[in-house]
Amino acid sequence: MNIFQLTVVLQNKIMQEPFGEYSWIFNLLFYIIFIVFLFYGQRFQVYIMLREVEGSLYKLRYIKDEGRKISIETIKEIGKPQTDPTVRVDKFLEYFTIAPQSLDPAGVVWKLEHILDVRDVRFKDEVKMMAPAADETQVNNLENTLEAAMALNYIYKVIRHFYLLGKKTMSLYVIMQVQMQLPLIMKEAEAYASALKAFAYGQPIGDGAGALVAAKLMHGYEMRKIPKDNIVATVPIEGRTAYVIKAEGPGGNVGKTGDAVKTIIEENDGKIATIIMIDAALKLEGEEVGEVAEGVGAAIGGPGVDQFKIEESILKYHIPINAVIVKEDIGDAVSPMRKEIFDSVDKAVERVKQVVLEKTKEGDKVIIVGVGNTIGIGQ
Amino acid sequence: MGKEANTATRISSFVLMVIFITLALSLTALILAITAFNYGNEIVAGILLMMGFIGVALSSYVLFQTRKRILRLRIETPAITTTIECKKCGFKSVREFQRGDYIFKEVEPCQKCNDKMLITAIYREVKEKERTFVP
- Phi and psi (nearest 5°) for A226? -135, 160
Q: Closest partner residue to B8 among A62, A202, A336, by Cβ? A: A62
A8 touches chain B (CB under 8 A): no
**Predicted local confidence at residue A180, as pLDDT:** 92
Question: Comparing C-alpha atoms, which of A340, A354, A368 is closest to residue A218?
Answer: A368
| Closest Cα in chain B to A14 | B43
Asked whether the beta carbons of A202 and A250 are under 8 A apart, the reply is yes
Q: Closest partner residue to B1 among A65, A286, A340, by Cβ? A: A65
Residue B130 has pLDDT above 70, yes or no: no
Cross-chain Cβ contact B123/A336 below 8 Å: yes
Structural domain harbouring B56: 2-73
Cross-chain Cβ contact B103/A335 below 8 Å: no
Q: Chain B closest CA to A64's CA: distance in Å?
A: 9
Residue B35 located in a structural domain = yes
**Predicted local confidence at residue A61, as pLDDT:** 92
Residue B13 located in a structural domain = yes
Residue B132 located in a structural domain = no
Residue B133 located in a structural domain = no
Q: Tell whether B67 and B116 lie within a shared domain.
A: no
Q: Tell whether B6 and B60 lie within a shared domain.
A: yes
Asked whether the beta carbons of B82 and B123 are under 8 A apart, the reply is no
Asked whether the beta carbons of A273 and A224 are under 8 A apart, the reply is no
B46 touches chain A (CB under 8 A): yes
Tell me the pLDDT tens digit for each residue of B42-101.
Answer: 888 888 999 999 999 999 998 888 777 766 666 677 789 999 988 888 888 899 988 889
Per-residue pLDDT of chain A (379 residues; tens, 9 = 90+): 666 776 677 666 655 555 566 678 888 999 999 999 999 988 889 999 998 898 889 889 989 998 899 999 999 988 888 888 899 999 999 999 999 998 989 999 999 999 999 999 999 999 998 988 888 888 888 999 999 999 999 999 999 999 999 999 988 899 998 999 999 999 889 888 888 888 888 899 999 999 999 999 999 899 999 988 899 999 999 899 999 999 997 888 888 999 999 999 999 999 999 999 999 999 998 898 999 999 999 999 888 999 999 999 999 999 999 999 999 988 889 889 999 999 999 999 999 999 999 999 999 999 999 999 999 998 8
Q: Tell whether B84 and B115 lie within a shared domain.
A: yes
Torsion sign, CA atoms A208, A209, A214, A220 = positive
Domain containing B120 — which CATH number? Answer: 2.20.28
For the entire predicted model, the pTM comes to 0.81
Q: Which of B73, B88, B113 is the last residue of a domain?
A: B73
Q: Which residues contact A353 (CB under 8 A, 6 or more apart)?
A: A237, A238
A62 touches chain B (CB under 8 A): yes
Q: Chain B closest CA to A354's CA: distance in Å?
A: 23
Q: Tell whether B43 and B100 lie within a shared domain.
A: no
Q: Closest partner residue to B75 among A10, A66, A377, by Cβ? A: A66
Q: Tell whether B50 and B89 lie within a shared domain.
A: no
Asked whether the beta carbons of B5 and A62 are under 8 A apart, the reply is yes
Q: Chain B closest CA to A312's CA: distance in Å?
A: 33
Cross-chain Cβ contact A336/B75 below 8 Å: no
DSSP three-state, residue A310:
helix
Residue B66 located in a structural domain = yes
Question: Comparing C-alpha atoms, which of A267, A262, A184, A188 is closest to residue A230?
Answer: A262
A55 touches chain B (CB under 8 A): yes
Q: Closest partner residue to B103 among A61, A63, A212, by Cβ? A: A212
Residues of B in contact with A194 (CB under 8 A): 75-76, 78
| Closest Cα in chain B to A74 | B99
Q: Tell whether B88 and B52 lie within a shared domain.
A: no
**Count of helix runs (H) and strand runs (E) in chain A:** 11, 7
Q: Tell whether B52 and B105 lie within a shared domain.
A: no
Residue B123 has pLDDT above 60, yes or no: yes
Cross-chain Cβ contact A339/B125 below 8 Å: yes
Cα dihedral B17→B18→B23→B26 (10° resolution) = 140
Residue B134 located in a structural domain = no
Q: Tell whether B6 and B69 lie within a shared domain.
A: yes
Residue B115 located in a structural domain = yes
Q: Tell whether B67 and B15 lie within a shared domain.
A: yes
Residues of A in contact with B8 (CB under 8 A): 58-59, 61-62, 65
Size of interface A-B (CB pairs under 8 A): 100
Q: Tell whether B115 and B85 lie within a shared domain.
A: yes
Domains of chain A (ranges; CATH) run 47-201 (no CATH), 206-370 (3.40.50.1470)
Q: Tell whether B54 and B101 lie within a shared domain.
A: no
Provide the 10 A C-beta neighbour count for residue A87.
Answer: 9
Provide the 10 A C-beta neighbour count for residue A44.
Answer: 11
Domain count, chain B: 2
Residue B130 located in a structural domain = no
Q: Tell whether B84 and B67 lie within a shared domain.
A: no
| Closest Cα in chain B to A59 | B73
**Average pLDDT of chain B, as a whole number:** 82
Residues of A in contact with B84 (CB under 8 A): none
DSSP three-state, residue A289:
coil
